A and B are shown apart, each in its own frame.
Chain A
Amino acid sequence: MSTSTKPSARYETWLAILIMTLVSALAYLPLVNQLGLYKEDWYLIWSGAMRTPQDFLSLYQADRPFAGYIYQLVYPLLGPTPLYWHLLSFLLRLAGVLAFFWLLRMLWPDQKFPTLAAATLFAVYPGYLQQHNAVNKTFWLTSLTFAILSISLTVYALHLKGNLARILVTVLAILLAIYYPLVIEFYIGFEAVRFTMIWYTLQQTERKPFWPGLGRAIKIYLPYLISSAIFLYWRVFVFQSTRPTTNIGRLFSEYTNLPVYMLARIVIETVQDFYETTLLAWFVPPYNLISRATYSELALDLFCGSLAMLLVLLYYRWLKQRELSGAGDSQSDNWSQPDSRSAIPPAIRAAIGLGTVTVLVTLLPMVIAGREVNFSPESRLDHYTIQSALGVGMLLVGLIAYALRPNLRLAVIAFLIGIAVMTQVQNGADNARNWQAQRSLWWQLTWRAPQIEKGTLLFVDLAGFGFGEGYEAWAPANFIYAPGSPVPVIAAEVLTDETGFLLQKGAVEQKNHRNIRYDLDYGAPLILSKPGEFSCLNVIDGQLYELSKSDDWPIRSIAPYSRIDRVIPEETFQQPPEIIFGPEPVHDWCYYYQKAMYARQRGDWEAVARLGDEVTTKGIKPIDRTEWVPFLEGYAMSGQEQQARQLAKLIKSEQAPRREICRQRMEIASPPQNYDRDKIVSILCGES
């Protein structure tokens, strides 16, 4: 690649690879052992653990039938341990980055620093914040890495002299080119990138006039065109997607029904997405994440970001020193050339041009398919940027080299890398907190509920980390309460206005999520709420419940429907699989609270009072004082009124929740058998 033969030039490639690996590691690895499973990860891991590898195929039959093969292959190796998936995800990302770096070095062998900068910007690109969704994004990253590798191989083949080697490499590139769009169809835009790269490489090596050069590029591109044509034929005419967003028939009918609107949409959306992907990605996601970081998280972000910047600067310094000693080709290294007011240097122009084309053509299929880039954390539609991020890397480095004076170029590149690393680290920190909250929720449920009735429909409100789909609750619940069952016996649904309505009606519906079929029995709901970071899980008993002041409208509206009888009391307590949920947390306040709630459900007031004594002895207290209520009831019902009144005083400081609890207690139509409502009400709600 590099024209230089000096020893330092040989080391340079390895050093560059080391720098990119280290910067990527700083971005993604600092909290990797604190990350877990998120969103789609859950049903994939559940499927892997409870069903056969063959079943992975059925999961993706509806939209991307070749994605399942990846899991069929990989799951037996990695199993359900989240850490392994995160490491795989990191390695896949790194492989893509290195493939891209190889491509860049083939295109501009003398541009040492700019190529490293572009690849590093791609590696830590802050417009894509889905690295934590490791299991699910395995097939996305596989497809992306294959696509980049395939293009790199194509360009490599052009540089090869021997026919056999060239044919072999081309065949490998074609094989990868066949596979990657079968996994993610809208990555097909990479085929236009491939053509552009072929054309550009030929221009560089053969320096033919435009038209003959184009003709030759088309000729070389033909075999790849055939594979793309086969893919498109299959996707458009053979494959029938049953998932609306990937169904070509539905899309086609939209275009034929509203052609002007859809065309206008393509133009506007492409412009908008281009702007968002190239520029706003460096503003909006960093702002969204870093502005809500805690101080300690911010310190970690800053540390990693600064270290990444330092690495890049040291690498530059190393390069510069070698240049001064004659290493590298300073004549063609535009990066360190003084400001030139004349024409734009060819390499810079090429980087800007190729970067722009890459971003546009990789965004376009996604936009045509009716999707769009969106940086709102809830939408997670930033995952439509990653395929364009390599174009962003080229474009930005080209623009910076073109626009800025030499001494500032380095500073801006380092700054962008620093900000991007900070963003990725903060994303990791956010997701570490999310995983912590999820683990806490499921561990507390196992402390609270020995077993849950089959057919129960869970509604889970995890404050701050809302679930987007039912599988985020039913998959972990089935891991714990129905290990070995190839169908979910405990269902779950997200609390929305519509499901809230169905709940009130007690409807029964069938659900088919990627060929996993189960019933949603809205007449058998069990509602779980963890309203704040410091609140315990509240497994709500619709007859006898306490809501926190942090509980939002949805929980308030449906709390009375929660059926505590779905918790089967007299069974052995389950243990969440440690391989997923980690070791059992220390027995803090929430442990005693859950055990007290369990004892209350059984009417074992003596046990509740004992637990109350234990927490008092240990000096453990709740943050949310309404969590004293079961203990108050336990003391009151076991004849220890004095202690009950002490707790009543504590609870009274939470006026609004207390009033609500009092009202709820007074309105119970049929109190539990051994529950002296009048006594409780007089202690909790009386004036003393």
Chain B
Amino acid sequence: MAPLRARVDMGDGAERYVRREWIYAIFVILCVTGLAYLPLIIQLGLYREDWYLIWNGEARTLQDFVSLYQVDRPFVGYIYKLVYPFLGSTPLNWHIQAFLLRLIGVLAFFSMIRMLWPDRRFATTAAAILFAVYPGYLQQYNAVNKTFWLTSLTLALLSLALTVFAVQSRKRYQAILATLFAILLSAIYPLIIEFYIGFEAVRFILIWFAWQKRDAKPTLASLKRALLWYLPYLVSPVIFLVWRLFLFESTRPTTNVDRLLAGYLTLPRHMLARLIVETPQDFYETIALAWGVPPYQVFSQLTNREFLAGLILGGVAVLLTLSYYRWLKNRDLILTGQDSPNWTREMMWIGAITASITLLPMILAGREVDFSAATREDHYTIQSAIGATLFLIGFFYAILKPKLRLAVMCALIGISVMTQFGQLALKRNDWVNQKNVWWQLAWRAPQLIDGTLLLVNMPPGSGMSEGYETWAPANLIYSQDAEIPRLTGEVLYPGIAVPLQAGSVEPKNHRNIRFKLDYGKALVLSKPSQYACLNVIDGSWYQLPDDEEFSIRYAAPYSRIGEVVTGQPFSTPPEAIFGPEPDHTWCYYYQKAMYARQIGDWVEIARLGDEARQRGFEPADQVEWRPFLEGYIQAGRAADAAAIALEIKKDRSATRVICQQLESSASLPQNTPRGELQALLCDS
């Protein structure tokens, strides 16, 4: 809409390019955004909160989405209720949707700033690109969960763009329609994410600024006009605030207004000091540090190959931006125009105010921006990223010489694309690890007893922070239709040491999903490295590698292999989520051998051993030969047993681990060939 209305005063030659420029700009924005988020999209999966949402969609009714969010954001559930039937459980659909939502938000932002600075073509396009790939927000992978965040953000940005359009519109019906639509959107988005309410202050600033630009009136006169214009918009935030402050009772501590208020009343000085310190700190982090800290954190974890791929993508993004710049320059569209000479100052001010006031409600609510990967609190930056990019672009134009300005903007775009790509590469690896764990569990365990509590140690880079990351996939595999999780899960944190020892039962309520954590029915799973197979630990007869985590060492004796039900058909993980079954390589044979070991089917173990060896498979950790060694011994195949023993003995550590347990454990399974194992492995 903006270019049609742009106040253009240029030569005939340049004028005919205006419309084409609009298309080119959007093309570049699309391409750069695509380069950042799409290259690995089909390899991404489910992460963190995504899991319980997908489980809910699969195992329960759509209405249950509403109950999930009743505790803190009661309107969010309706989004999932609406969207889930279309997207289903396939991760790719959600990732595409998250990408599209992000893109729509970017285009809304782009159209808004084009309306405000119509002649600043490159600056506005660059701002939109920087917002699209802003590296201070690295949560795009968390696609299912971030659906409502991105929906709220996109609605807010659309609403702002419509407001600016209405102010600038010379046709009354257009202005009324746009205002009505903007008001409608402004009534919805804070119901989804409450701390985005700061956008309402941004709206006022934009109205005021747009009025000043439109009528070129003195500040006070346009302020009065802006206030009048803003009045209808005030209705929805007031209603929202009344509802949120006086009617709605959040039972989640971080979104509970009473708890927050109590904090301010009990420690007023501390809370005030916090506000004073946190606001500039978060502002600086969002505007400046976001371009350095998250990129560093991501780059330092990438392999050389991933880094190179990122470098290429970043390079292509830079080339695209440069080609657009050149195109503009060749057509004299770079510096022509009638924007106020103070436009850089305007952009910086609006950017700085936007960044600050969109951060403020979040800080008031006791939260803060944090770039550490563990906290994931970079998701508090995205609403302020529009301000950050505007500020930066204005700043670059104000202080840098033209050539360098272009170089710096391109460098930021390149780095941001690399960062976003790098983050998704790390998440792709995480998904590979997750899929591996669940497929291997499906190979190993036909079924699990009701109430089994899974304690899972994932390989480095795929740490779990909540129990639902365990129980949701487990239930999707083993108990797809149960409305209450039949299998449970918890994170291995020191707090579970005591209940694990005691075998106690503890109730859990996660967003109205209620179940009991029965520590007496714990089953410990560990995949200590990318290359090791999943170890479904039998607390009475297990080997752990030297570098196994302390948490697993502690929990292993409490792992009950009896939770794995034998003699039932094997469950298959749903392909829509977990993808096609991986190739049957070493870990497949290992899991099948461990299962056969559990049921004492020695002949089957020997058969599996023969097949694995014939196909040239071997373990990364020699200790994984153990079930085959037992199988060959029990099947009376002494020569093969001796050959396997030799393989194990190549790794002194593996040998030591097995021998130590043979020596010390009083509770080995009865059918363990203890003497033979000791003779083959330990007596030398």
Contact = CB atoms under 8 A, between A and B. Distances in A.
B300 interface: yes
A267 B414 CA distance: 19
A226 interface: no
Most chain-A CB neighbours within 10 Å: which of B289, B299, B494, B546?
B494
A339 B502 CA distance: 75
A553 B277 contact: no
Contacts of A660: 497-498, 501
A574 B300 CA distance: 46
B615 interface: no
B296 A375 contact: yes
Interface string B295-316: 1100110001001100000000
Interface stretch (B190-198, B201-209, B398-406): B398-406
B546 A498 contact: yes
B285 A272 contact: no
Contacts, number: 100
B498 A656 contact: yes
B640 interface: no
Given A295-B273, A497-B546, A283 B495 contact: no
Nearest to B404: A403
Contact of B553 (A374, A500, A657): A500
Nearest to B415: A275
Given A279-B292, A556-B554, A557-B553, A272 B494 contact: no
Contact of A280 (B296, B497, B501): B296
Contact of B304 (A268, A280, A284, A403): A268
B549 A291 contact: no
Interface in A233-289: 264-265, 268, 272, 276, 279-280, 282-284, 286-287
A284 B293 CA distance: 5
B507 to A, nearest CB: 15
Nearest to A495: B550
B277 A376 contact: no
Contact of A551 (B277, B494, B501): B494
Contacts of B660: 505
User: Size band of the B side of the interface?
Assistant: 35 or more
A534 interface: no
Interface in A572-621: none
Nearest to B657: A501
B297 to A, nearest CB: 8
Contacts of B391: none
A51 B295 CA distance: 47
B669 to A, nearest CB: 21
Interface string A636-675: 0000000000000000000011011001000000000000
B288 interface: yes
User: Size band of the A side of the interface?
Assistant: 35 or more
Nearest to A404: B399
Interface string A363-403: 00000000000111000000000000000000000000011
A480 B491 CA distance: 41
A678 interface: no
Contact of A265 (B277, B304, B400, B548): B304
Q: Majority SS of interface residues in chain B?
A: helix
B370 interface: yes
A446 B660 CA distance: 37
A60 B371 CA distance: 40
Nearest to B547: A497
Interface in A116-131: none
A403 B399 CA distance: 8
B323 interface: no
A268 B296 contact: no
A298 B277 contact: yes
B291 interface: yes
Interface in B361-420: 370-371, 399-401, 404, 408
Interface string B541-561: 000101111110110000000
Most chain-B CB neighbours within 10 Å: which of A287, A298, A553, A660?
A287
Interface in B286-342: 288-289, 291-293, 295-296, 299-300, 304, 307-308
A408 interface: yes
A453 interface: no
A340 B670 CA distance: 88
A341 B401 contact: yes
Contacts of B289: 283, 286-287
A401 to B, nearest CB: 11
A84 to B, nearest CB: 36
A557 B554 contact: yes
B400 A553 contact: no
A292 to B, nearest CB: 10
A499 to B, nearest CB: 10
B495 A549 contact: yes
B585 interface: no
A500 B553 CA distance: 9
B281 interface: yes
B296 A663 contact: no
A677 B408 CA distance: 72
Contacts of B296: 276, 280, 283-284, 375
15 contacts: A265-B304, A280-B292, A280-B295, A287-B292, A374-B300, A403-B400, A404-B400, A408-B399, A497-B549, A500-B553, A501-B553, A553-B553, A557-B550, A656-B495, A663-B501
Given A341-B401, A556-B497, 19 more contacts: A265-B304, A268-B307, A272-B299, A283-B288, A283-B293, A286-B289, A290-B281, A291-B285, A295-B273, A295-B277, A403-B400, A498-B546, A498-B547, A500-B550, A556-B494, A557-B554, A656-B495, A660-B497, A660-B501
Query: Top 9 nearest A-B pairs by Cβ distance?
Result: A283-B292, A553-B550, A403-B404, A553-B551, A554-B550, A660-B498, A497-B547, A557-B554, A408-B399
